[in-house]
Each structure stands twice: as C-alpha cells, then as structure tokens.
A and B are shown apart, each in its own frame.
Chain A
Amino acid sequence: MLTTTLLTVWLLLPYLAGFVAALLPSLARALVLFLCLITAVVGCSALMAADQAGVALTLLGPTGVTLQVDALAGWFVLLDAVLIAGVLLACWDRLADTSMPLLLLVLQGGLNTAFAATDLVSIYVTLEVVAISAFLLILRERSERCLWVALRYLLVSNTAMTLYLIGAGLVYAQSGSFGLQALAQLPLGAAQAFVLVGLFTKAGVFVSGLWLPRTHAQAPAEVSALLSGVVVTAGVVPLLRIGQLDPRLLVCIQVVALAGALLGVLAAQQTADVKRLLAWSTLSQMGLVLLAPVAAGAMAFSHGLAKATLFLLAGRLPSRQLQGWQERPLPLDLQLGVTLASLSIAGVPPLLGFAAKKGLLAALSAPWAAGVVLVSLGTVMVYARLWGAPVSQNSSAEPLLNPPLRRSVTGLVLVLLLAGIWQLQSTLSWGALLSTALLLAAGVALQRLLQRFRAAALQLPALGEQLQDLLGNLALVGSGLLLAFRLGFS
C-alpha cells in the first residue's frame, strides 16, 4: 500500500506546506491539520501492515539516503501527528497571525524523517532540523528565562550532534558506509561511543539528559507538551534501531536507560515544582522506552499523549508549587485530566499505559523486568503527589480551561482510553490487575509516608544542571562508554 513514491512525497510535503504557509499565512493552521491527517494515515498503515519489516527506501543510490517505514516508525509517526494536531487545536485562536504553524510544519517534517531514517547522516540532518525548530518554538515567549533556556538547549544539542558527527566520520572511515548496519558490524570502539553519546543526549537519558528538566519546565506550556511528548523521541528512535541491529550495544543502551529511569523518578521525588516533576518523569520514561525495541513504540505513544496532556493542563494551574497541593482546591475538569493522564503513565487499566507497560514487561528478561517494576513503583509515587486535591466549588470565577484547550485535552485522553480498551483484551488478566492494584497501593502509601519527611527536608539544589555541568556530562558519558568498550564490555 505504501510505495516509494508516496512515502517520498509524504516526507517532503511538510516542507512544501511550510513554504505555502509562509506565503499564505491564513492557510497555515489548516495546512498543519491536513498534514497531521496524512501523517496519521501513514502511521496507521505502517502499523497495520502485515509485514513488520515495513517498506525500505533507498534514495540517491547505494551511498544515499536510506529510510525504513516499519511498525517501530509507525507508532512514533502516529504520535507526532496526534500531538501536533492536539497542540494546534489547544491554542487555535492564539495562533492566527504567528509563525507557530510554520514551525510546526517544519518540526513535523523533521520528526517524520527522523523516525524513518536509517543512515547516520540523515539522522544527523533531521535531528538538527528538529532541534532548530524546537529552539524557535521555545523562543515564542520572549522572556529572559526562555532566551536562556533556548540558548542552553541549542548549545548542548549542537555540541552533542558535533560529537555524533565525529562518530559518523569514524564509522565511514572504517566501513565506507554511513548506514546503521555498518555501525552495528564494527568492533566496539570510539566510533560507537561518539554516536551513542550524541544520541543519548538528544534522547534525554541518564546524566547526558540532564538538560531536559529545566528546558521542558521553563518552555511555554504548549511547547513543553511537544518537547516532552514527541521531540525528545527523535533521539530515541535511532537508538532503538541501533539496539535492534546490534545486541552488544543493546545491552549497553539498556544499562544506561535503566539508570536514567531510576535517576528520573528519584529526582522527581524531591522537586517542588509541578512542571519540573513532569519533566523529570519524562527523563525516567525515556529510559523505560529504550529498554526494549519491540515494546518501545506503544510505550512512547502512551507516554507522549499523557505527558502532553499533563503539560497542557499544567500551563493553566494557578500555582506551580507542589507544596500544599493536597490543600489547594482545583476545578473538577482540570483534576480529571491530570488524574487520568497520570494514571495512564502509572500503568493503570483500562488506559493505554497499562497495555504498554505489560508489553514492555513481556519483552524483557527477569532482571530487567524487576528494574521496570521498581521504576513503576517510583512513577506511582511521583504522580501520587498530583492526586487528591480538593475540588473547588465556586463556579463564578473564570474557568481555568478555555474551550479549545478543553476540547484538545478531552481528545487526547479519549485516544488514551479508547486505544487502551482496544488493547485490553490481549493483556488483561487477574494477575496483572492484582499486581497493578498492589503497586498503586504501595506507591500511594509510600508517598504519604515520604510526604511527612519532605516538609522537613531542605530542598536540594539543581545538581548537575548548570550549562557547565551539562557539557561536562557529555564528556563524562562519552568517556564512560569508551572505557566500557575498552574493558571488553559485552
């Protein structure tokens, strides 16, 4: 059904639409929606295709661009279609005469290609396109805070990608090809270390991903939703593809990913800010996504939808302080959205997060699965901080959610719910229900216990998150990988 010509047109269409949107700004929003529709159709047909390997494209000869539109790419492509449409609808009225639709088109073009690309150079180019459009999106708000966060983001991202490019050069020097296949066949060494450190940074994993919490917490709400939901996964997909091709590197990626997942839940425990809590949780969930390439698509899809919902709603909160959350009343609609989305990330049926987490556990061997359960417990504890605020009674005040935002959030939660119910019959069992209930109860109880100590404990400073540290982290992770490869890591 998907042919080479159709796919090439699909990959180029966002950029063409971008030109049209620049010339005819009145059409821009409609064009974004149209492109999201096409992208969703492509994503669905890649997922539904009987052949899991999908369609492989080789453009411009044997040394040219290679792309693979398979089930893995399908999930991510669908995610970016749904999220970009969701964010556009959430702030539809405010975007009439801005450059945001244009940026969304370029972002979509970059993301679509990043999810499909299987050679190091295409991945480099698309990740840079994605980084530049994300940078410009953060700058939608011209505050000093956003200027600094955007600069920090692009500086770290470009440094990581420069290291990645050195790795790509070394791969070509040794094998004469830029394909991921060539990377997977080389003996472990500096080339893989450079490529991995670049991708780890982009994917927001472990210490190389420490740029993520502040960036995602300080960006404007609708941009945070995109950054945390889908932009960060642009670095995840190449890592998953490398893991699929090379079992040696898969183990290495899994170790770093699980460490990142644990770091994320631990750090989210001690933060005092809602948006930082969500951002730390993204860092942790990206670790889980990277653990198993087979289950990664569903994990990233369910996390992306839920996290985007949470960030969109967090933008409307009267206060970002977590201190005293259980005493401050909030309107029912906002609470319902926050609770449903966070329950999905915590893996509670019938939401999609449950099926995704069961798929992940099924794809992993026992020791890794134990790690996932530990991280799941941590995740429940993190989100238990957002549950149980009293419902505000006064309906006279202006509603916190405006109609477009309410529609968009409802849509995102409905997708989570319906897709979850659709996936339910294959994953639901009494054992799974019981373990989820136990996990949920244990998490909430532990959180209540921890809450007593948190009030007394002093807030830790943002450790390792200054620009200097972020750049140092790149060197740290890179040399760590190199050392591991030299010591005969298998």
Chain B
Amino acid sequence: MASIRLLELLILLAALAGFTGLLLRRNLFLKVLSMDVMGSAVVALFVLLAARTGLRSPILTGLAAVPAAADLAADLADPVPQAVILTAIVIGLSIQALLLVVVTQLARIDPSLDVSSFESID
C-alpha cells in the first residue's frame, strides 16, 4: 500500500507542476503544453486507481475458462477508471489539437507568443 501512496504523491506533484507551468509560463505554446502535463498526470492518477486491486488486464480469454468469482477479483485491474480515462484522453487530445491550431494562428500577431501581447487586443 505504501508504494501506491508514494505513486499517488508523485502524480499529484506532476499535476501541480503542470498547473504551476500554466500559471508562470509567459509563452502561450508552453502554457498549452503545461496543460497537457496536468492532463497526463490525471491519466496516471486514474491508471493508478485502477491498479489498486491488481495489475492484470480485466479481459477474459475464452468464455469456457471463466474462473470462479473469488479468483476473478484476485489480481485484476479495475476496468471502470480505465474506461473513464480512455474517454478523457480522447477529449484531451482533441482540445490540445484545437488549442494548438489557434496558437499557430495567433503566432501571426506575435511570433514570440508572449501572453501580454494578446491581452491588449480589444
């Protein structure tokens, strides 16, 4: 259990690092990448959540050899967080792509992509 707590701490530190980058970076491109660091940390959190019950993929191979319920739950990973995070990964990817498209468009105004040069557009 101690290793899980340690990993959880590391993951939350990664999320914090992403958020700090998002706050402190002046460059828009790096801001968007920091957001992705944060997103990846959340993905890791959900994978860790799924691994609390075991590491084996929760996939049955062949219906004939269904093990007893007790064996089944023994070392299988929890499929629910994994399914959830799969959706979140897809959403994160599409948002990342959309943001980067807009960032490339904004690079025409200021190629150095400094945040302060866009705040004054009004």
Residues of A at under 8 Å CB distance from B? 63, 121, 124-125, 128, 131-132, 135-136, 139, 144-145, 147-148, 150-151, 154-155, 158-159, 162, 165-166, 168-169, 172-173, 178, 218, 466-468, 471-472, 475
Contact = CB atoms under 8 A, between A and B. Distances in A.
Contact of B49 (A128, A155, A172, A468): A172
17 contacts: A121-B84, A125-B91, A136-B98, A144-B106, A147-B106, A148-B106, A151-B28, A151-B106, A154-B98, A159-B35, A169-B81, A173-B49, A178-B84, A218-B122, A466-B115, A467-B115, A472-B23
A166 B109 contact: no
B22 A124 contact: no
Contact of A162 (B42, B49, B87, B99): B42
B119 A467 contact: yes
Given A166-B15, A166-B45, A172 B23 contact: no
A145 B87 contact: no
Interface size grouping (class) on chain B: 35 or more
A154 B92 CA distance: 11
Nearest to B24: A468
A459 to B, nearest CB: 13
Given A132-B95, A162-B38, A162-B39, A155 B31 contact: yes
A132 B32 CA distance: 16
Contacts of B94: 132
Given A166-B15, A467-B119, A150 B95 contact: no
B102 interface: yes
Contacts of A466: 115, 119
B116 to A, nearest CB: 8
Contact of A468 (B12, B35, B80, B115): B115
Which residue among B28, B32, B87, B98 has the maximum number of chain A CB atoms within 10 Å of its CB?
Answer: B98
A132 B38 contact: no
A147 B102 contact: yes
A125 B88 CA distance: 8
Contacts of B98: 132, 135-136, 154
A121 B115 contact: no
A154 B97 CA distance: 11
Interface of B: 12, 15, 19, 22-23, 28, 31-32, 35, 38-39, 42, 45-46, 49, 52, 80-81, 84, 87-88, 91-92, 94-95, 98-99, 102-103, 105-106, 109, 115, 118-119, 121-122
Contacts of B28: 151
A286 B109 CA distance: 35
Nearest to B40: A162
Which residue among B12, B28, B102, B115 has the maximum number of chain A CB atoms within 10 Å of its CB?
Answer: B102
B115 A169 contact: no
B46 A148 contact: no
A158 B35 contact: yes
A54 B19 CA distance: 40
Contacts of B45: 166, 169
B95 A166 contact: no
A42 to B, nearest CB: 25
Contacts of A475: 19, 23
Contact of B91 (A128, A147, A151, A172): A128
Contacts of B84: 121, 168, 178
B29 to A, nearest CB: 11
A461 to B, nearest CB: 11
Given A154-B98, A159-B22, A166-B45, A144 B121 contact: yes
Contacts of A472: 23
B35 to A, nearest CB: 6
Contact of B121 (A136, A145, A162): A145
